[in-house]
Structure 1
């Protein structure tokens, strides 16, 4: 059994021990959400919107699928990019009255939803099988210098116009700042950027994930924990566990929600419990173990820099014993940073450091709710009132 499955079971076990009466284990949810078993395109169409899938090729051979809610001819394009272990589905799960993708479509925008390499919708390469470890030899660095440029240039060529805005969440922000630092000519195709829960500097991360940081350079230990290739794909085992262990009549009582909160911050008031089956049907969507290691290195070093292979390999790759830092001074476009006070993965202190490193000072919007956590930016009950309304006002 893979280590990631053990971790998943352990987290659920914590939740069960805290809040679960085992006699209720097999009681089923009375009214299942109709979106439980649907993919992104199916969810969009079920809500009455048109939906398209577009495939683009990266410079290093990965095939990425983007989902689109097309606007009218000539409508400005907005690009939304998910976080680690996420997918395009994250932006539509809340439904047509609350999900950001639909709110943007209602405003007349041409809405594009990206999918990074390695997730449910982007698991192909022109010459490498996903069964090959080489397929998974990437971190968020490659997603920044290859994936985002491929998707953005595809849209710009199709639209024959710049993108009005890039909206990234979590790793979607990390990769943006990689791209904007390393390939500023691509960033200039965007008129503005909105970073939801930006993850760039990570010294003040308070999630238990920080305890992996001391192991960040011990690859044998890390790979023994997470595997050497793919990390947490959306597969039948995860779906079975979520369906029969987490989703019952009484999962409102923190059965498996604790396994989410323990990583991102506790905010039971804003968590939409009826959404849990849909979330677990799409998340985790998969990524590489190397992506998680790169984040652990950032927590350990407190710096925003490229992947650390060790002194010997670094000399071969970078001609330096240390990996180079990303040069944030190259970024001059309008940026807005959204942060939550209870975000264990995107600390307001680290967000302020990002602000100080940028040559053009960004707007910083602190969500006016003390318990607002990392995943609340996607799925909070009051996401519209607390975040999206402000974002839409800025866009308009």
Structure 2
């Protein structure tokens, strides 16, 4: 939830600066002119960088329509699925291409690269019977993303490519989704050649970032507020918001420094992100999410348990047959899992990472990225990510 907190604060700051909730169209046009990379969509980013990209549409078992972005390899190329973190989108894997994007690097090494998206983000706002304006559309969390979105994406990729297994790279929530799917639907373990989790934990007992403040929020009051407003969407993609972020964080040296400091406090210290990268980092956290998704992480922080969504005693009894939500059984995750984490990651602590690793039955590697300062977002944006992390991952995949 930290990404959500950071972006929300930046947006509030921007609103105060302009004194209005929606910026003037001329301001948006000006931001487009000075920072076109902030407004690009994944296919445009790939084209700019000289890579081919296809868009594929996938239907989940519960009728959400997902968009997958593919950088196609040869027919024999092993498929690899990338799954983004909370509030983000497929763009996060290629937006910082000057760092030698891991997605691009794997494609150049002969892989068939697929970039996943999840229900509710800017690429996945379609459903067979519901519209985003319907409150029911947003009543999901990362539980449904793992159970249905990830399962449907895997099946589609394997059916399309003719392969029996794929590699999986999950950042933050992307790793949580894998733990959900593989524990709840263990037949998918055989479809995973190797799971690579980047700063992905199932527990939040030792979270130290701004997201810990969310633990004091009462779900009943929060939901009552959402019911009154009639909206369960948080951080919807908006060009006016992007323009605000650019002019607040990207228009002067002092603004750069202030916003970079906020990100440092939220995600941990980093020596691999320049001030000018901060607006783009913020945009990568503006894919749009459900309030239930954010709250499910708050629940993890509050309880210290990796369990299904807590709807309250009565609804839990109806759904689960018990007054408490059941915990996910991580011992059912039998696919090989490689775990990478950072020294200064304020969003996923070393203690929580190692707690997961001690339960998983088939951990192939637990690796702390060898940099003094490496935070939660550095896995996608650090200037030296290639030499610190990506080259190692490429070599690891070749062993499988």
- In structure 2, relative to structure 1, the CA distance for the partners of 1:4 and 1:98 (3 Å cut) is closer
- In structure 2, relative to structure 1, the CA distance for the partners of 1:147 and 1:289 (3 Å cut) is same
> Residue 249 of structure 1: CA displacement?
3.5
> Residue 6 of structure 1: CA displacement?
6.6
**d(CA) in 2 for partners of 1:271 and 1:97?**
10
On the 8 A contact 2:38/2:242 being kept in 1, the answer is no
- In structure 2, relative to structure 1, the CA distance for the partners of 1:159 and 1:343 (3 Å cut) is same
**d(CA) in 1 for partners of 2:224 and 2:162?**
44
CA displacement 1:314-350 (0-9 Å, x = unmatched): 1011010100000111111111000112111111100
2:243 is the alignment partner of 1:240 = yes
- In structure 2, relative to structure 1, the CA distance for the partners of 1:250 and 1:326 (3 Å cut) is same
**d(CA) in 2 for partners of 1:134 and 1:175?**
21
* 1:367-386 pair list within 5 angstroms: 367-386=369-388
- In structure 2, relative to structure 1, the CA distance for the partners of 1:5 and 1:149 (3 Å cut) is closer
2:198 is the alignment partner of 1:196 = yes
> Residue 365 of structure 1: CA displacement?
0.5
On the 8 A contact 2:140/2:293 being kept in 1, the answer is yes
**d(CA) in 2 for partners of 1:234 and 1:94?**
19
2:241 is the alignment partner of 1:255 = no
> Residue 184 of structure 1: CA displacement?
1.3
Match of 2:221 in 1: 220
On the 8 A contact 2:165/2:190 being kept in 1, the answer is no
* 1:221-370 pair list within 5 angstroms: 221=222, 224=225, 228-250=231-253, 253-267=256-270, 269-370=271-372
- In structure 2, relative to structure 1, the CA distance for the partners of 1:6 and 1:42 (3 Å cut) is closer
> Residue 77 of structure 1: CA displacement?
0.5
Farther off after superposition, 272-281 or 360-369: 272-281
**d(CA) in 2 for partners of 1:91 and 1:159?**
21
**d(CA) in 1 for partners of 2:221 and 2:188?**
36
SS in 1 for 2:258: coil
Farther off after superposition, 64-73 or 223-232: 223-232
**d(CA) in 2 for partners of 1:11 and 1:374?**
23
> Residue 14 of structure 1: CA displacement?
12
Match of 2:92 in 1: 90
Match of 2:158 in 1: 156
**d(CA) in 1 for partners of 2:178 and 2:356?**
13
On the 8 A contact 2:300/2:306 being kept in 1, the answer is yes
Which residue, 108, 111, 132 being the options, matches 1:130? Answer: 132
Match of 1:103 in 2: 105
**d(CA) in 2 for partners of 1:374 and 1:290?**
22
- Structure 1 residue ranges without an equivalent (≥5): 16-27
**d(CA) in 2 for partners of 1:326 and 1:365?**
24
- In structure 2, relative to structure 1, the CA distance for the partners of 1:342 and 1:110 (3 Å cut) is same
Higher helix share: 2
On the 8 A contact 1:165/1:190 being kept in 2, the answer is yes
2:40 is the alignment partner of 1:35 = no
SS in 2 for 1:186: helix
**d(CA) in 2 for partners of 1:181 and 1:118?**
23
- In structure 2, relative to structure 1, the CA distance for the partners of 1:280 and 1:341 (3 Å cut) is closer
Q: Aligned pair count?
A: 379
SS in 2 for 1:119: coil
SS in 2 for 1:188: helix
**d(CA) in 1 for partners of 2:140 and 2:111?**
32
Match of 1:144 in 2: 146
Match of 1:72 in 2: 74
State the TM-score, normalized to the length of structure 2: 0.89
On the 8 A contact 1:104/1:111 being kept in 2, the answer is yes
> Residue 258 of structure 1: CA displacement?
2.9
- In structure 2, relative to structure 1, the CA distance for the partners of 1:241 and 1:374 (3 Å cut) is same
State the TM-score, normalized to the length of structure 1: 0.89
